C-alpha cells in the first residue's frame, strides 16, 4: 500500500520543481519530462482531455503508430479512434509533463461481448523522449490494479511480436504470452480486489490530480509572467525610440 507520507513529500517536491523557471539551455523534449520518481503521477483522463490524447498519438512517428495500433495508422484514422473513445465505458490513463503534454497514454478497454464482461484489453504509447523511464510498466501496473478493483478477472494484450518493450512489460507482470507469427497474445489473470488495492488506487489518483493541478497553475503563472516581461520589454524599447 502507498505510504501517505511519501505521497505528501512527492507532491511537495513536484510543486518545488514547478516553481523552477525554465532556462534557455533546457531541452524542450526532455527538460519538462518527469524524472521517473518513485511515485509517477498517473491520472485518469476524461473527455476534456480528448484533444491532448489526439496530440499525443498524432505526434508518434510511423513505426510507433504501427506498434501501437498493429497497423500504420494515418492521421485521419487516429483522429477517428480518439473521437470514438468511450470515457463512460473504458478507462484512459496518462502521464503529463510541465507543459501539460501527454508523455504516455494507456487505454483500458472493457470487453462488451457476452461472457467476457470480466475481461479488459490494454494498450499503451509513450513518446520517444520519455522512454526508458518505466512509464509503460507503471501504466500497466495502474491499469491492472484498477481492473482488479473493478472486478475484472483477466487483462488481455494484443501486440505485434516485434513489439519487444510491450511484451517485456507483460512478461514481467506474469502474463502468459502466446506467439502466432507476427502477432502475440498475452493474458494476465488478476487477483481479487483488497482494501490495500482500493486505498492505493484512491491515494495515487488524488496525488496525480494534485500534480496535474499544480502543473496547470504553474503553466498559467509562467505564461502571465512571460506576457508581463514582453510588455515591459516593449515599453523600454518604445522609450528608447522616442528618446533617440
CATH code for the domain in which residue 131 is found: 3.40.630.30
CA distance 35 to 56: 19
Q: Which residue is it, cell 482488479?
A: 148
pTM: 0.75
The pLDDT value given to residue 33:
52
The pLDDT value given to residue 145:
96
CA distance 158 to 69: 9
CB 106 within 8 A of CB 120: no
Helix residue ranges, H only, the chain = 4-18, 50-58, 62-69, 75-83, 135-149, 164-172, 195-243
Spans of the chain below 50 pLDDT: 4-5, 7-8, 10-12, 14-15, 23-31, 34, 36-37
Q: Which residues constitute the domain of residue 237?
A: 4-243
Predicted confidence (pLDDT) per residue in 191-231, tens digit: 999 999 999 999 999 998 898 888 878 776 656 666 667 77
Interacting residues of 188 by C-beta distance below 8 A, sequence separation 6+ = 144, 154, 155, 157, 170, 173, 174, 175, 176
Q: What is the mean pLDDT of the chain?
A: 83
How many structural domains are present in the chain?
Answer: 1
Amino acid at each position: 500500500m502507498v505510504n501517505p507520507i511519501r505521497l505528501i513529500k512527492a507532491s511537495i517536491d513536484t510543486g518545488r520543481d514547478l516553481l523552477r523557471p525554465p532556462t534557455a539551455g533546457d531541452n524542450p523534449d526532455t527538460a519538462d519530462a518527469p524524472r521517473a520518481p518513485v511515485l509517477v503521477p498517473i491520472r485518469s483522463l476524461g473527455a476534456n482531455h480528448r484533444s491532448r490524447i489526439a496530440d499525443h498519438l498524432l505526434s508518434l512517428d510511423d513505426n510507433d503508430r504501427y506498434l501501437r495500433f498493429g497497423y500504420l495508422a494515418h492521421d485521419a484514422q487516429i483522429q477517428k479512434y480518439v473521437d470514438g473513445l468511450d470515457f463512460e465505458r473504458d478507462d484512459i490513463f496518462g502521464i503529463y509533463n510541465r507543459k501539460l503534454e501527454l508523455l504516455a497514454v494507456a487505454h483500458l478497454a472493457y470487453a462488451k461481448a457476452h461472457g467476457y464482461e470480466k475481461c479488459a484489453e490494454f494498450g499503451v504509447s509513450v513518446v520517444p523522449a520519455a522512454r526508458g523511464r518505466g512509464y509503460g510498466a507503471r501504466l500497466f501496473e495502474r491499469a491492472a490494479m484498477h481492473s482488479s478493483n473493478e472486478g475484472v478477472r483477466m487483462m488481455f494484450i494484443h501486440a505485434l511480436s516485434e513489439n519487444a518493450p510491450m511484451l517485456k512489460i507483460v512478461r514481467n507482470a506474469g502474463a502468459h504470452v502466446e506467439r502466432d507469427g507476427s502477432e502475440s497474445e498475452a493474458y494476465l489473470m488478476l487477483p481479487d480486489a483488497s482494501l490495500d488495492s482500493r486505498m492505493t488506487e484512491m491515494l495515487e489518483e488524488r496525488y496525480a490530480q494534485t500534480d496535474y493541478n499544480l502543473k496547470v497553475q504553474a503553466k498559467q503563472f509562467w505564461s502571465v509572467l512571460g506576457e508581463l516581461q514582453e510588455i515591459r520589454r516593449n515599453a523600454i524599447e518604445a522609450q528608447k525610440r522616442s528618446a533617440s
